[in-house]
Structure 1
Amino acid sequence: MNNTLNNTFARPLIGVTGSSGKTSTILMLNSILEQCCKNPAMLESWKGPASFTKLVKNNTTGSRPLLAEVPVEALRQRQVKGEIFQCAALTNLTVDHLPACGTQERYHELKSEFFHQLPPSAKAVLNADDPRALTLAGDGGLDTITFALHYPNAMIVANNIRIQNFSSVFELSVNTDIPTFSNRVISPQTAKVHLTMLGEQNIYNALLAATLALLLDVDLESIARALGRFPGIRRNMEIISVDKALVLDDGARNPAAIRAALAGAKLLGKRRTLVLHGIYGKGGQTINRCNARELAHWLQQSPGSQLIVTRSMYHTKHKYQVRVSEEKTFLTELKESKTEAAYFPDLPDAVESILYHACEEDLILLLGGPVLDRAREIILQSIGENRTSLTLVPSGLGGIRTYSNLQPLAGNPT
């Protein structure tokens, strides 16, 4: 990292890091600030050290807030250091990014180093529901602010969470005095939020975005109104269709994200959930084993629900294609846990199967990373062409059954 970048700028530089939710948090925060005329500069996804350096150097004067995603790969390669940030925020810590870090311990170590590099009196915003997250601030004199959904003593919390018309409604509460970047004090108060997104993970992201907006002197009522106008994010508990069966699409690719999406789906109260899961291409064997274990546990606790799996052989970009070792590890874990599932190597066949098995009272949940990026397109096309084809058939797929294309596709559309 260029040594000419230091922490002397008048504007706050905020780095958001964590296992998942980084981009969503920054997009929510950017939306809040734009609606409140704060004119932020944003680097919502990591595009390399050159883009980050440009973001900072182009905003060395004035009070324009700078928002940057800080992925573990950038920390591992020493492309960015905590010493130039006025604030670091952590979404969560879970099992992910193992191909880059090698072990979960190394992953945690890199995150910890980032927080320990922050200058004295910098702000650290941490998820109090994650015990591992609270260890990152250490005793280095950081101004630590905590947020939570379940830990009542956190400084900023979401209470009385409920689902209403496919939206998350909750009370956003500040529990104690909190100093902002300008040293103004935010006193305890509460505002009602109507977030047009589903899932506990999105409430966490909204809560973190709201916390950071408060530190930038946005009042709580304005934050609540801005979150209510946030349109949502593609492949983030996105509602694809309500034609007969309800179809949701979520890009979860680690166990915690999968668990959160399934928990959010359960709150919708559907008779059963049919999950189409895309194996995590380039995620490694360990993460895919953990993902399979998470899905197996869910299926055991959800009688009548079904699991369909794909690697999307012909509808995935090369850099996201599933390795044979990842496929084998995932399916072996399901087999060893005696989990019933159907496996389709190609995505259109998997979509056809899940639509065939669905009925009006079901929820179809598309669950997985880039392997499922084209599932939305395929499922909407199929629903459009066969609007009466969603009919109930007997459940129980009888172990892991593997299905192949009857006819080869003409090349890779991606």
Structure 2
Amino acid sequence: MRWSEVIAAMQAVHTSGRGDVDVHGVQYDSRRVSAGDVFVAMRGGTTDGNKYIDVALQKGASAVVTDSLEVFVDLRSQQPELALALVEHGRRALAEVSARVFGDPQKVLKLSAVTGTNGKTTTAFLLEQLLQSAGRKCVLLGTIETHVAGEVRESEHTTPESRDVLALFAEGVRTGCTEAVMEMSSHALDQERVWGLPVDVAMFTNLTQDHLDYHGTMERYAAAKARLFAGVGAASPRVAVINLDDPRGDDMCREFCGEILMTYGIDSGKWRATEVTLRAGQTQFNWQTPHGAVAISSPLTGRVNVYNLLAAGCAAFARGLSVDDIAAGAKGLRQVPGRFEVVPGSDVAGFTVVVDYAHTDDALINLIALARDLVKEQRGRVITLFGCGGDRDRTKRPKMGRAAGNGSDFVVVTSDNPRSEKPLAIIDEVLVGVRETGVTFVVEPDRAAAIAAAIGAAKSGDIVLLAGKGHEKVQIFAGGPVPFDDVEEAARVLREGGK
């Protein structure tokens, strides 16, 4: 591909140098540059890619895109032959260049995207499974894993930069994929990391307090989510799937200007769940749709998964599956790692130990309510272990303390990625809410010791909830990440008899 072809895909302010140079790839990280790559130098939240242009050129970059006028002028003066472009928006240019370099795979795949505070990962996983049950090949980009035609890889970010998304899309197209499913975080929508992606089906799960360290207010947080339904550098999605039981559902509906609006819920919406029956390892409901009613049964657990199933089911219908196809596919759905994941060895112990990613007060309330339902018949107790992340929204710490205390019989307060903060300082803010509830609690900053304490306190019929980290495999401290896995640690404690 020639540089002139790449320029044609960009909204460039100025260009300079040769237009006939060959382009073989695109990078925004100078460490990953190879000979023939376009290097897109853009200003970000923590660093400025323009500082690394010299490194990229030394490694063989054949062209440079910059969002700095000063850098553009200097390079044009010093290297008049260099293939160079000045753009107003670095991230938008990265998406435009990447789409052209990778052969516009976003135009081949039909993209379904989900946003919301809770349920994004599960909904994305469920939709992928439903599509696969109908014989579709998929690319999945999510918080936990990335899938390309069934191959599983670990994910680094909930929503990667556009270059990395499009590279995966291109790989998916080469392996015969026709569908893409991805989570779109509020950060990615706000920062335009998904610029130009034509979303066919957009889903909204819910909105509760989270990420206010970044967005500042709930209104800005909601506005970032709502960008999915207006379109980010692309037309509004063809179909919107929106949870009307959530107070912010109407806001999302107002932003949507596509063709088909599908609203869902238990209390409201045109695609409703009625006669809901919940048991451990089984969720059943009658799905009332504009195309008739169908019984849905799945091996998932809890009311939250009713909503996740509704969102995924609506999206699957929008992508061409019938309600009967969806009902058949629901029976074989698999649980998502770190989402109400039962720890091996629990059955031998006589009580249940569950690892879950719940890290907001709303998610914690839902998790504890589910656990309470499961132990009701045995009159068991709910033991909840949780912490709050450092260098993140501090206002949710006492709220999470109240959520845990109000629903649990015994609470263990511990660390959850303290980062640069002192663990005990975070815990002190959490305890403000815990103490208000009057629940019995203990404090143990060491998460391994805290897990042992929570499991050691359990008796037959109880359920132990290890909340906050879910699928994560590290604990992040001021000095950096340290390997840590709630499931592995809990399984070890169970094997060793609660020690």
Alignment length, in residue pairs?
365
CA–CA separation in structure 2 for the residues paired with 1:188 and 1:41: 30
Whether the 8 Å CA contact 2:230–2:237 is kept in 1: the answer is no
Task: Give the whole-Å Cα distance in 2 for the aligned partners of 1:126 and 1:72.
Answer: 16
Corresponding residue for 1:308?
412
Alignment-mate amino acid for residue 167 of structure 2: K
Partner of 1:251: 357
Q: Percent identity?
A: 23
Residue 122 of structure 1, aligned match among 238, 248, 271: 238
Select which of 356, 361, 377 maps to 2:461: 361
8 Å Cα contact 1:311/1:321 also seen in 2 = no
Which deviates more, 255-264 or 284-293?
A: 284-293
Is 1:70 the counterpart of 2:184 in the alignment?
yes
Do 1:12 and 1:63's aligned partners in 2 also have CA atoms closer than 8 Å? no
The alignment status of 1:334 with 2:447, answered yes or no, reads no
Change (3 A) 1:40 1:63: closer
Aligned: 1:347 with 2:447: yes
SS of equivalent to 1:242: helix
Q: Which sits farther off after the overlay, 157-166 or 344-353?
A: 157-166
In the TM superposition, what are the counterparts of 1:82-97 in structure 2 within 5 Å? 84-97=198-211
Aligned to 2:383: 274
5 Å-filtered alignment, 1:110-259, equals 110-117=224-231, 119=235, 122-138=238-254, 141-142=257-258, 143-151=260-268, 154-164=269-279, 166-174=281-289, 176=290, 187-190=291-294, 192-240=295-343, 241-243=346-348, 244-259=350-365
In the TM superposition, what whole-angstrom CA distance separates every residue of 1:224-263 from its partner, at most 9, and x where no partner exists? Answer: 2222212212221122222211222211001111111112
| 1:98 shift after superposition | 1.6
Give the match for residue 392 of structure 2: 283
Task: After TM superposition, give the deviation of residue 122 of structure 1 in Å.
Answer: 2.0
Residue number in structure 2 paired with 1:27: 125
Amino acid aligned to 2:373? L
Match of 1:50 in 2: 163
One-letter amino acid of the structure 1 residue matched with residue 383 of structure 2: L
Say what the alpha-carbon RMSD is for the aligned residues: 2.9
Q: Summarize the alignment of residues 97-108 of structure 1 with structure 2, pairs less than 5 Å apart.
A: 97-108=211-222
1:102-130 per-position Cα deviation (integer Å, ceiling 9, x unaligned): 22121011122332236257211100111
**1:20 match: secondary structure:** coil
Contact 1:82 1:116 in 2 (8 A): no
Structure 1 residues 321 and 381: CA distance shift in structure 2, 3 A: farther
Q: Is the 8 A contact 1:18 1:90 kept in 2?
A: yes
Give the deviation of 1:324 after TM superposition: 5.2
- Which of 137-146 and 125-134 deviates more? 137-146
Query: Structure 2 counterpart of 1:113, which letter?
Result: R
Shift, 1:73, TM fit: 1.1
Query: Does the 8 A contact of 2:414 with 2:446 survive in 1?
Result: yes
Q: Equivalents in 1 of 2:322, 2:493: separation in Å?
A: 46
Residue 278 to residue 120, structure 1, CA distance change in 2 (3 Å)? closer
Distance change (3 Å), C-alpha of 1:119 and 1:347: same
Give unmatched runs, 5+ long, in structure 1: 177-186, 300-304, 391-414
Residues 9 and 60 in structure 1, CA contact (< 8 A), matched pair in contact too = no
Q: Calculate the TM-score normalised by the size of structure 1.
A: 0.79
For structure 2, the 5+ residue unaligned runs are 1-91, 144-158, 476-483
Question: In the aligned structure 1, how far is the partner of 2:302 from the partner of 2:432?
Answer: 29
1:51 maps to a residue whose letter is D
Q: What amino acid is the match of 2:490?
A: I
Q: Which moved further from structure 2: 118-127 or 254-263?
A: 118-127
CA distance in 1 between counterparts of 2:280 and 2:427 reads 38
Higher relative contact order (CA 8 A, sep 6+): 1
- The residue aligned with 2:493 is 382
Q: Per-residue deviation at 1:70?
A: 0.7
Greater Rg, structure 1 or structure 2?
2
Residue 286 of structure 1 deviates from its aligned partner by 1.3
Q: Report deviation, 1:8.
A: 8.8
